[in-house]
A and B are shown apart, each in its own frame.
Chain A
Amino acid sequence: MTVSPDHGHAIEVRGLTRRFGTFTAVDAITFDVAAGEVFGFLGANGAGKTTAIRMLIGLLAPSAGSARVAGFDVSTEAEQVKRNIGYMSQRFSLYEDLTVRENITLYGGIYGLSDGAIAERMASLVERLDLGRDLDTRVKSIPLGWKQKLAFSVAVLHDPKVVFLDEPTGGVDPITRRQFWELIYATAEQGTTVFVTTHYMDEAEYCDRVSIMVDGRIAALGTPAELKARFGGETIDDVFVRLARPGAAA
């Protein structure tokens, strides 16, 4: 993990709040993510994870508070934020009726890469994922595990400063998940900050730091070891259950 010399934090969140009518989905959360860090963003369904992530990637305007992503304010500099982030949604985000090559070319083009850069990255991506034979196969007919690895590779095709992964490993087998995390580490090593939400608590152990969201607030934040020590659990799973259980005080 290398910390960027030019600025300390890839993500700075200060009192970020989102209300829907009288319901407060995200309640004044504050945290920082260092450049090059793999940051796990955990929380039960309905805890406000998705709302928070949507504010950070500029899909949703905050009701109060502020957030800076890749050095830009999400409220006032949304366009610059968009250029400097990658995003992989929990729903599969490639076009099934396009080939692998066409998907890569499309996203390269959308992010303004030159034809030369696209060809170069496609070659290295194909080598890394061993996709050579499937380059002209339509995405719908390649296995789910590969699809997800491909979706991740496409999300970081333009070398974003920060990549947001919203439950990227849903529904894939443990071996593929393991491979997926190897891709995440490789990306982080090159200096890209990884912001990942997950339901799999074993994956939380892979993160540099994790936060656990409960009812719109951040109930705990620290390295997996710190959290286990502080809340007294064998695994992050224990910590999570303790915090997220109804009635549990943070």
Chain B
Amino acid sequence: MSSRTGGRVRAPRLPSALGAFVRKELHHIVRDRQTLAILLLMPLVQVLLFGYALRTDVRDLRVAMVDPTPDVLTVRLRNRLESTPRFRVVSTATSTALLEDQFQRRVADVALVLPTSFADGLARGDRTPVLLVTDASDPNSGTTMQSYVRAALADFESDLSAPGRGPVRIQVASRMRYNPTLESANLFVPGLIALVLTLVSALMTAISLSREKEQGTLEVLLVSPLRPWQIIVGKVLPYLALGFAITCLVLLAARVVFAVPLRGSLTLLLAESVLYTIVSLSLGVLVAARTTSQRAAMLGALVGTMMPTALLSGMIFPISSMPGWLRPITNVVPARWFIVIARGIMLKGAGLGILWHETLVLAGMALLLLVAATRSFHARLD
């Protein structure tokens, strides 16, 4: 007996036990080169994809002008449109006769039809009607194009309105308020961070935890003196670090490639990202606890976290344009809150004073899910 007492395990020294576990987890991540490469490269590819391919803003808008009575003012309007790189006036006609043909041959996207004596009407201060015809075969870009021209017209009007004269008649679409150049990259990048963080944290944690379950190593861990929360923390910490690195990478890429602004505090943004990562990680742990195979865990994480993040967070489809019954449901999607926070910080320069409500919701979710995730481990024992 005496030969054994020297090495008898007493209380496991927490830092070293947890440290050993975290080191092992890092080994797993680094050893799996393929997955690691995908995890690091995918966000970059996505930044480029979302930035270039999926943009909903429209460039090089071809405008067909119909101006029955050309004069100084209409030429000025025309020049104004041409002076921005967004518009290209492809034709100026005195009648609408050619328009149908132009649309059909797809040489024009928008037709701006001025009334006869446009200048006179304006001079009198009348409500001067202007017809805006848009090729709306793609409804999304149709709406966008229309709002661009409206915006240009509004600008033109305010130019004309000398102080104390002429009322403003056209409203500017409110969507442009914080994104005056209508760069869709600006809107996508915060959503992209959410998507990538969800992927790394929820999906990867779910897979790696269910792998241990499948291979039987989790059972050995549960029999060891490690407490369930230590196992969870050990699992989660390396992915938290990975998520943090990837967030920085996406921000950097967005800045370098698309000059996406960061108007608020970087520290706050990173802190909020960590908070969101904790929420996603807990979801991953929960998914793994409820499933029995890696494949099921992967599906569960995809359906349970990735899909809501992509579809219901307002990342791509604005929540305000969802049907009424669906809108309340988006409230339980963590990414919905994170995207509001990230957009607020990046595009509006908002601070915690404005975003405390959303932050509180996220923090509440994090707490709730962490407790649930730890519980789900205990539950296995009964």
Q: What are 7 contact pairs spanning A and B, CB under 8 A?
A: A59-B380, A59-B381, A97-B32, A102-B24, A109-B20, A191-B3, A192-B4
Known contacts A60-B381, A106-B20, A109-B16; A117 and B223 CB within 8 A of each other? no
| CB-defined contacts of B237 to chain A, threshold 8 Å | none
List residues of B (42-83) whose CB comes within 8 Å of A's CBs: none
Q: Is the CB of B20 within 8 A of A105?
A: yes
B216 — nearest CB in chain A belongs to which residue? Answer: A91
Known contacts A98-B24, A191-B1; A117 and B222 CB within 8 A of each other? no
Indicate if A95 sits at the interface (CB-CB under 8 A): yes
Instruction: Work out how many contacts link A and B, with CB atoms closer than 8 A.
Output: 113
| CB-defined contacts of B3 to chain A, threshold 8 Å | 190-191
Top 9 nearest A-B pairs (CB, nearest first) are A109-B20, A91-B216, A112-B12, A87-B223, A93-B220, A159-B7, A159-B4, A106-B24, A97-B31
Indicate if B8 sits at the interface (CB-CB under 8 A): yes
Q: How far is the CA of A183 from the CA of B234 in the complex (A)?
A: 32
Q: How far is the CA of A201 from the CA of B366 in the complex (A)?
A: 52
Q: Is the CB of A111 within 8 A of B9?
A: yes
Given contacts A59-B222, A190-B4, could you give 11 more A-B pairs where the C-beta distance is less than 8 Å?
Answer: A5-B1, A59-B381, A60-B381, A83-B12, A85-B223, A89-B219, A98-B31, A111-B224, A112-B9, A112-B225, A190-B3
Q: How far is the CA of A184 from the CA of B227 in the complex (A)?
A: 28
A2 — nearest CB in chain B belongs to which residue? Answer: B1
Interface SS, A side? loop
Report the contact-size class of chain B (Cβ under 8 Å from the partner).
Answer: 35 or more
Indicate if B103 sits at the interface (CB-CB under 8 A): no
| CB-defined contacts of B31 to chain A, threshold 8 Å | 97-98
Q: How far is the CA of A82 from the CA of B11 in the complex (A)?
A: 11
Q: Is the CB of A112 within 8 A of B13?
A: yes
Q: Size of chain A's interface in residues, with CB distance under 8 A?
A: 44
| CB-defined contacts of B12 to chain A, threshold 8 Å | 83, 110-112
Q: Is the CB of A106 within 8 A of B220?
A: no
Known contacts A106-B24, A112-B10, A112-B12; A95 and B4 CB within 8 A of each other? no
List residues of A (57-111) whose CB comes within 8 Å of B's CBs: 57-61, 79, 82-85, 87-98, 102, 105-111
| CB-defined contacts of B224 to chain A, threshold 8 Å | 82, 107, 110-111
Indicate if B159 sits at the interface (CB-CB under 8 A): no
A87 — nearest CB in chain B belongs to which residue? Answer: B223
Distance from A151 Cβ to chain B, minimum over Cβ atoms (Å) = 9
| CB-defined contacts of B17 to chain A, threshold 8 Å | 109-112
Indicate if A4 sits at the interface (CB-CB under 8 A): yes
Q: How far is the CA of A150 from the CA of B307 in the complex (A)?
A: 43
Q: Is the CB of B219 within 8 A of A106?
A: no
B27 — nearest CB in chain A belongs to which residue? Answer: A98
Q: Is the CB of A158 within 8 A of B1?
A: no
Q: How far is the CA of A111 from the CA of B12 in the complex (A)?
A: 6
Within 8 Å by CB of B216, from A60, A83, A85, A92, lies A92
Indicate if A125 sits at the interface (CB-CB under 8 A): no
| CB-defined contacts of A13 to chain B, threshold 8 Å | none
List residues of B (189-242) whose CB comes within 8 Å of A's CBs: 215-217, 219-227
Q: Is the CB of A87 within 8 A of B220?
A: yes
Indicate if A113 sits at the interface (CB-CB under 8 A): yes
A61 — nearest CB in chain B belongs to which residue? Answer: B382
List residues of B (363-382) whose CB comes within 8 Å of A's CBs: 380-382
| CB-defined contacts of A93 to chain B, threshold 8 Å | 216-217, 219-220
B1 — nearest CB in chain A belongs to which residue? Answer: A191
Q: How far is the CA of A191 from the CA of B20 in the complex (A)?
A: 28
Within 8 Å by CB of B20, from A58, A108, A160, lies A108
Q: How far is the CA of A22 from the CA of B380 in the complex (A)?
A: 19
Q: How far is the CA of A113 from the CA of B17 in the complex (A)?
A: 9
Known contacts A82-B223, A85-B223, A106-B24; A61 and B13 CB within 8 A of each other? no
B5 — nearest CB in chain A belongs to which residue? Answer: A159
Distance from A158 Cβ to chain B, minimum over Cβ atoms (Å) = 5
Indicate if B118 sits at the interface (CB-CB under 8 A): no
Within 8 Å by CB of A97, from B4, B7, B27, lies B27
Indicate if B28 sits at the interface (CB-CB under 8 A): yes
Indicate if B258 sits at the interface (CB-CB under 8 A): no
Known contacts A84-B9, A110-B225, A112-B9; A95 and B217 CB within 8 A of each other? yes
Distance from B184 Cβ to chain A, minimum over Cβ atoms (Å) = 41
Q: How far is the CA of A97 from the CA of B25 in the complex (A)?
A: 11
Indicate if B261 sits at the interface (CB-CB under 8 A): no
Indicate if B19 sits at the interface (CB-CB under 8 A): yes
Q: How far is the CA of A6 from the CA of B2 in the complex (A)?
A: 12
Indicate if B21 sits at the interface (CB-CB under 8 A): yes
Distance from A108 Cβ to chain B, minimum over Cβ atoms (Å) = 7
Known contacts A4-B1, A192-B4; A97 and B9 CB within 8 A of each other? no
Indicate if B23 sits at the interface (CB-CB under 8 A): yes
Q: Is the CB of A59 within 8 A of B223?
A: yes
| CB-defined contacts of A192 to chain B, threshold 8 Å | 4
**Which of B28, B217, B221 has the most CB atoms of chain A within a 10 A radius of its CB?**
B217
| CB-defined contacts of A61 to chain B, threshold 8 Å | 381-382
Q: Is the CB of A158 within 8 A of B9?
A: yes
Known contacts A4-B1, A110-B12, A112-B13; A83 and B225 CB within 8 A of each other? yes
B215 — nearest CB in chain A belongs to which residue? Answer: A91
